Amino acid sequence: MLVYVVQCTVPTGQPTGQPTGQPTVYLQTEAFTASGTFTVPLDVVLVTVEACGSKGEGGNYGGVGGNGGCIICEGLEVTPTENLIVHIGGYGTEGGGIDGGFAGKGGGGSDVRRGGDDLTNRIVVGGGGGGGGAYTGKTGGSGGGTSGLKGTDDPAAKGGLGGNQTFGGAGGYGSGSNHGIAGVLGIGGTAGRNPSYAGGGGGGYYGGGAGGSESTANKGAGGGGGSSYCSPLASISSNTQGTSATGSVLFTYSFAPSAQPTGQPTCIPSGQPTCVPTGQPSGQPTCVPSGQPSRQPSGQPTGQPTKFLKNANMTKSTKDTINMAWYGGKAALLGIVIANYMRN
């Protein structure tokens, strides 16, 4: 009987390694073009803030106001659900210097405040541009950067200087007593004469100084731009001057879903188990009749057994016949032997 040994291979073991990839991260933005409050969403602990100051106002028949600046602060640490106060600058608002009547007002700075609503609570500030002078075509200085730019001079009066990280910009010199007023923390300088023809200083972290006016002619210089600022607890990725016409603040933050995958990775075997005979068959083939004979012997033997007699009860003629047959057989055999001999 042949015996085959069969080995079957089936999937074994446990899944190896860890799930790959990262949870989906969602990027969200929230923009402000008017003052308001930003509430930090749940699960958010870092934000990026872009603050842009306002452009300065243009003067009568005269100079164009300087553009505001934009600053981007990354990695600001915040607390979920806390409120951050947002201020958006405009002409003569949020620190934009007053022109005195005929020239342009300074552009206001835009900022974000944390822990209160004072100027000392600001953590990000975009500087505003200086106002343009009247009747002269003298432009205001651009806001932004670590220091705002100086306003354009008039032949008989000087433009206001830009604010920086420590001081407000100085007011521009004017003929007679028509000097511009210096900027201070968060506020651009005001023109020194009323009516004045000089542009006001732009608001910002520190405001720019107002331009000076001529005493004998209705002309004036441009105001200086205000500076931008980012909290030292964050990093500055961009700080540009003169890139913004309107005030704005943009928050950008990312978060992953709070729910995490549960359970373990599941491995499902593919295909079917494979069975392969191994080794050689053992033993010998065995033939075993199947079933039983369909019939059994029936009846009794017929006839009588043959008896061989040895000389008993034989007649002489019978014996002579047997002897002749015996000797005849021997003679025939001898003839065959002699014929074979002669052949060879």
Average pLDDT over residues 55-76: 93
pLDDT at residue 214, rounded to an integer: 86
Q: What is the pLDDT of residues 7-51, one digit of tens each?
A: 545 556 665 666 566 666 778 999 999 999 999 999 999 999 999
Report the distance separating Cα 125 and Cα 95, nearest Å.
12
Report the distance separating Cα 70 and Cα 32, nearest Å.
14
DSSP 155: T
> Is the pLDDT at 242 greater than 80, yes or no?
yes
pTM given for the model: 0.69
Please give the helix or strand (H or E) that residue 70 lies within, else none. Answer: strand 68-77
Which residue in 232, 127, 139 sits closest to 183, CA to CA? 127
Q: What is the pLDDT of residues 272-325, one digit of tens each?
A: 655 555 556 565 655 455 555 555 555 565 555 544 444 445 566 656 655 565
Pairing type for strands 229-230 and 36-39 reads unpaired
